[in-house]
Chain A
Amino acid sequence: MRAVLERDFLVLTSAKKYVMLRTAVVAVMAILAVAILLTMGVVGSIGRTSPDDIGRAVFTGFAVAFPILVLVVGPALGSGAIAGERALDTLQLVLAAPVRPGAFVLAKFLSRLGAMLIPLVGGLPIAAICFLYGGISVSLFVTWMGLVLALASIAAASSILASAYSRSMSGAITLAYFLAVVVPLLESWLSCWLLWDVYVGSGPSWIASHTPVVAFGTIIEAVVGRGTTRSEVWPFFVAAGLGSIVALALASARLSREAASLASAGPRRGRTVRTIFRNPVLDRATLGVPFRRAGVGAWATWLVIGGLTWLIPLVADFDDDAIIAGMNIATWGTAIVLLARSSQAISVERQQGSLALLCATRLSAGEILRGKLLGLVVHGAVLLVPAIALAIVGSWHGVKSACLPAWLASTGVALLLFSSIGLRVSSTSATPGRAAGMSYAIALGSLVAHGFALLVAGMAGAWKSEDLMAALVTMSPPVNVTMASVSAQHGASGGSERQFLAWGLFWSVAHVILSLGLLRSAAVKIQTDDE
């Protein structure tokens, strides 16, 4: 176990660039927050900034930046733990050695936890600046660290669980993000909807109160002690601890049954799949959609996304907003799946050596990339089928029919952008794990960064400035999707909604141009795949 732990920790932290990048991201986000908070003068509400307020601002910056980073990076780090070894056939070697599965899983967990927390240690001295100014009690600081630790532990444990149960790296990564990010997110989403009935108004404030950042924000607010008491975080700590233990136990149980499951993977003999497309890369990329050699995972993904799409509308008796919410869940779910798939599309081929074979054939890099992209389109389209059906059902219930085209168009842009990011990262990544981590970091990072900006803007009292809001909100493709369908549903009547639509359009065009650029450069990278 020591050996596994040491090796993994060294490998994970040896890429100095990554560690430094992570630390830098935290620092930049925090410094940005501090700067905005200070210049906006929010902290000194009377107009004069006291040292206490500066201290609190510095702390809030870190308090917000860190959990976000943990949840963005964590699943990517953890999901390679077992699935990666399985893909490289090194898992057999480890299992053949006298290592107990429990110890192995624990080692994987601790190394990931350690790698995630390195930036925390690096950032601590800066965060501790807040003590120079005061305003933050030691116990608050410690509680915050506990929160980060709890989040890191959830992220690491759930992604290792995902890793243990997935056959492929891309499956592991998708499942890991689903467990670590989407489940808590949906949970807050659903509980908001079902229990607290905050779901009153539609439009910006509704979206703003449902971003992941706000979900963490409520926890962090509890830590900072504004309005709620700190004792509220204890259930979270306990839940995180128990959840992690259960996840690790399940993972090691799965690992002890590893040998039994090895044989079952792969296609069954004699069952050929008919070719549909002329481009062989495209034809192959469509394997795994339902009825084209779809495994259990593919069906499960389809059912989960379809189920979540329909859940809220069903509960809400096909209320207008609920239908839009359902459609947007489909967009988000599909975006996460496509991001994983696209990030694996080229990197896996490189790892197994088939990329060289492809490049040596008469297929051009453009054809290879087009095949991969169109394959992703097919996968995305299949995942969106329940949402389209929902929109049609919705139109019987009186939802404006303009909603569907607006949603389709903006969803298309969002998925194109996410797929392009994944393919571009994939075209230069050394390993599939790294490709996935990087893609999610970029895509979710942009999402979170936008939400982060919103949070800061909100704290700064900039909510009223609709220009700023519209520009910020629509910057992030999935949010843009939500905006587009909401606006289409309500008819862009008000000045603010028209502003949102205009910005949305602007960003959509920008995203398409960006995507094309990314794809182009990915094709060039495939062509000159040297190292």
Chain B
Amino acid sequence: MTDTPQVPPQVPPQVPPPVAAASLPVAAIQTIGLTKVYRGVVALADLDLRIEKGDAFGFIGPNGAGKSTTIKILSTLVRPSGGRAEVCGVDVTQRPDAVKPLIGYMPDVLGIYDDMLVQEYLEFFAAAYRMRGLTRAKKIDEVLELVDLTGKRMEPVKGLSRGMGQRLGLARCLLHDPAVLLLDEPAAGLDPRARIEFKELIQELRRQGKTIVISSHILSEIGEMCNTIGIIERGKLLFSGPITEAKRRLGQEQGRVVCVRVTEEGDDGRSTTALLDLFRGHPDVAAQREGGRGEVLIRLRDGVVDTSFLARDVVRAGLHLIHLAETEMSLEDVFMHVTKGQVA
């Protein structure tokens, strides 16, 4: 995982979250005080979210956090109990008919008609977006090509594998060329190759200027596909902003972590133990633990900038230093740190 999100040159650099939203250009998605209560269950509590146009926004949070609820509200399917939600400046409750053409919604269930062929299924939804004649036929060819299902065009939808169904769902929500894609766990069920292709597809869609919201539990994927994330737990937004910012902030709070490897694999861990002993109680080290494969992860105390003492001490102790580098904060680290693991 790299620290710099894979932002294509066309996409404007990420601006930090706004102070006064009014002075900014229209966001792709904006919610203000969004609240949803399902018969006493609070699914969303006062959610303020802003996603800029052209962003790929990873929406993460534990089960029951409210991700699907937010996406459903943005797709005009669920009415919020309070607050406002806008897509490209259009209010979802007041003008749902104007919002619908703007969004491509892919739910966490497949929603497939098992008495149709792939081609018929897409024709059905294209007609539902009032596309007719040649435009429709051309668009269907195009999206089938895009999701690599051209060969399955005449197959019954029921016979598709789960991953293919998932791709068909994606094709469906691209039919009407929406500006905003709301994808609820889109990568579930995809095989490794399809996952990579899916990632490329997302990049391609971003290049086309689309805003993409992806809810997912596969954090490494979010890390690779998205430039911004929102972390939600029990209906509350815990963090929202660029991934780099999330990692930086976590780094500040938790201190930096350095990974040290001192010997080849297969020396039955004696040198690892020696390394652990070496820095136990060191004034600059906050904590340390074994990271597997002969690695030791050392968390430095806040404000410690100079890491040269590590290399010096290791060499002095007569250990063979193989690898010493500051570790990358992973999205998992961020997630585990920000959320408390409470299931709503």
Residues of chain A having any CB pair with chain B under 8 Å: 265-273, 275, 278-281, 283-284, 287-288, 293, 352-354, 356-364, 528-531
Measured CA separation A389–B129 after assembly (Å): 40
Of A267, A270, A293, most B-chain CB atoms within 10 Å = A267
B227 to chain A, nearest CB (A): 25
Per the bound structure, the CA–CA distance linking A358 and B107 in Å amounts to 12
B109 and chain A: residue at smallest CB distance: A353
**How far, in angstroms, from A480 to B201 measured CA to CA in the complex?**
60
> For the complex, what is the distance from the CA of A357 to the CA of B97, rounded to whole Å?
14
Contact of A352 among B112, B117, B156, B176 (CB under 8 A): B112
Contacts of A275 in B (CB 8 A): 123, 127
22 A-B pairs with CB atoms under 8 Å apart are: A265-B158, A266-B158, A266-B159, A267-B117, A272-B120, A275-B123, A284-B113, A293-B115, A352-B109, A356-B72, A356-B107, A356-B111, A357-B105, A357-B107, A359-B76, A360-B77, A360-B100, A361-B129, A362-B97, A362-B101, A362-B128, A530-B79
CA distance A528 to B80 in the complex (A): 11
Which chain B residue lies CB-closest to A361?
B128
Collect the chain A residues with CB atoms within 8 Å of residue B39's CB: 531
Interface residues of B (CB under 8 A from A): 38-39, 72, 75-79, 97, 100-101, 103, 105, 107, 109-117, 119-120, 123-125, 127-130, 132, 154-156, 158-159, 172, 176
Q: Provided the pairs A272-B119, A280-B128 are in contact, do residues A354 and B111 lie with their beta carbons within 8 angstroms?
A: yes
- Given A272-B154, A353-B107: A360 and B117 within 8 A (CB)? no
Residues of B within 8 A of A293 (CB): 115
A228-B50 Cα distance, complex, nearest whole Å: 80
Besides A266-B159, A293-B115, A529-B77, 18 other A-B contacts (C-beta < 8 A): A266-B114, A266-B158, A267-B156, A271-B117, A272-B154, A280-B123, A287-B116, A352-B111, A354-B113, A357-B105, A360-B77, A361-B100, A361-B129, A362-B100, A363-B128, A530-B78, A531-B38, A531-B39
What's the least CB distance linking B262 to chain A, in Å?
Answer: 51
Contacts of B117 in A (CB 8 A): 267, 269-272
Could you say which residues of chain B place their CB within 8 Å of the CB of A287?
115-116
Residue on A nearest B158 in the bound complex, by CB: A266
**CB-CB nearest in chain B for A293:** B115
Contacts of B76 in A (CB 8 A): 359-360
A278–B115 Cα distance when bound, in Å, is: 19
Are the C-beta atoms of A357 and B111 separated by less than 8 Å? yes
Q: Which residues of B contact A278 (CB under 8 A)?
A: 127, 132
How many cross-chain pairs have Cβ atoms below 8 Å apart between A and B? Answer: 97
Measured CB to CB, the closest approach of chain A to B136, in angstroms, equals 10
Residues on B with C-beta less than 8 A from A363 are 128
Query: Which B residues lie within 8 Å of A354 (CB)?
Result: 111-113
Residues of A near B101 (CB, < 8 A) are: 362
Task: For the complex formed, measure the closest distance between the CB of B96 and the CB atoms of chain A, giving whole angstroms.
Answer: 9
CB-defined contacts of B129 to chain A, threshold 8 Å: 361-362
Cβ–Cβ contact B124 & A280, under 8 A: yes
Q: Which of A265, A269, A288, A360 contacts B75 (CB 8 A)?
A: A360
CB pair A284–B124 under 8 Å, yes or no, is yes
Cα distance, A362 to B76, chains bound together (Å) = 11
Alpha-carbon distance between A358 and B125 when the two chains are bound, in angstroms: 8
Question: How distant is the Cα of A361 from the Cα of B156 in the complex, in angstroms?
Answer: 22
Q: How far apart are B112's CB and chain A's nearest CB, in angstroms?
A: 7
Per the bound structure, the CA–CA distance linking A352 and B165 in Å amounts to: 13
Tell me whether A267 and B112 are in contact in the complex, defined as CB-CB below 8 angstroms, given that A360-B77, A362-B128 are known contacts. no
Task: Please measure, in the bound complex, the distance between the C-alpha atom of A279 and the C-alpha atom of B172, giving whole angstroms.
Answer: 17
A280 to chain B, nearest CB (A): 4
Q: Report the bound CA distance from A280 to B116 in whole Å.
A: 13
In Å, the complex CA distance between A266 and B117 comes to: 9
Chain B residues near A273 (CB-CB < 8 A): 120
B contact residues around A528 at 8 Å (CB): 79
What are the residues of chain A within 8 A of B109 when measuring CB–CB? 352-353
User: B116 CB to closest chain A CB, in angstroms?
Assistant: 7
How far is B109's CA from A352's CA once the two chains are assembled, in angstroms?
A: 8
Q: Which of B77, B110, B156 lies in contact with A359, CB distance below 8 A?
A: B77
Q: Complex Cα distance A222/B61, Å?
A: 67
